[in-house]
Amino acid sequence: MIRHLLLLLAAAFALGGARAGEFDFKAYKASSFTEAVGEHQKNPAVDFLVETGNFKYAVGGTYTGRHRETAAPTRELIRRWVKALRHPKEYETLFEHEVEVESGGKKYWLPIQNPMVQSFASEVRVSGSVKLYIMLLGATKGAWVFAINEFQSQ
C-alpha cells in the first residue's frame, strides 16, 4: 500500500512538473484544442507517434458525460511513451480511463490519471464547462493523445 502511494506521488510529481503536493499551473500554455493540435504534425502512415517533448496546454471544454476504459490504441501509445521516456513501468497503468470532452465542435477522448477519476466524476457536471491541464503524449493512427494532469470545473 505504501509503495503504491509513493508511486502515485512520484507520478504526480513527474507528470505535473511541480514540487510534490503542488501543481504548476504556469507550466501549461493557455490554448484551445484546435491550437494545440495545430502545433504538431504527424505522418498519416505512422501507427504511433510518441512525443518526447514536454508540450503542456491549458484548454477549455465541455464534458459530454461519456467515459470509458482507455481504448486499446491509446493504451499501446502510453506503453510506448513510458518506455521511450524511461518512466517506471507502473506508469503504463496510470491512465486506465478516458473522458470525452467537446471543444470547438469536435469531441476528444482524453486519458485521465487514475487518482483523479473520482473527483472528476463528482466535480464536473455533464454539459458543464471544465478547464483541463493536458499534456501531449503523442498520436495513434486515429487521433492525437493528450492526457489530463489536472482540471478545474467552471
Of the candidates 78, 55, 49, 45, the one whose C-alpha atom is nearest the C-alpha of residue 139 is: 49
Which percentage of the chain shows pLDDT scores above 70?
86
pLDDT of residue 151: 97
Contact criterion met (CB below 8 Å) for 61 and 103? yes
Residue 3 backbone class (left: φ over 0; alpha: ψ -120 to 50; beta: rest): alpha
Q: Could you tell me which residues come within 8 angstroms of residue 72 by beta carbon, excluding any fewer than 6 positions away?
A: none
Helix (H) or strand (E) holding 103: strand 97-103
Mean pLDDT of the chain, nearest integer: 89
The CATH label, of 3.40.50.620, 2.60.40.1930, 3.40.190.10, 2.40.50.140, for the domain at 2-153 is 2.40.50.140
pLDDT of residue 93: 95
pLDDT of residue 142: 84
Contact criterion met (CB below 8 Å) for 98 and 74? yes
Contact criterion met (CB below 8 Å) for 99 and 128? no
Helix (H) or strand (E) holding 120: helix 117-123
pLDDT of residue 44: 86
- Is 70 exceeded by the pLDDT of residue 120? yes
Q: Which residue has the cell 503542488?
A: 22
Q: If pLDDT is split at 50, 70 and 90, which confidence band does 20 have?
A: low
pLDDT of residue 21: 67
d(CA 106, CA 74): 18
* Helix and strand element counts for the chain (H, E): 4, 7
Which of the given ranges, 9-13, 45-49, 123-127, has the highest pLDDT on average? 123-127
Q: How far is CA 106 from CA 61, 141, 143, in A?
A: 10, 17, 12
Question: What is the pTM (predicted TM-score) of this model?
Answer: 0.85
Q: Is the dihedral of CA 36, 40, 43, 47 positive or negative?
A: negative
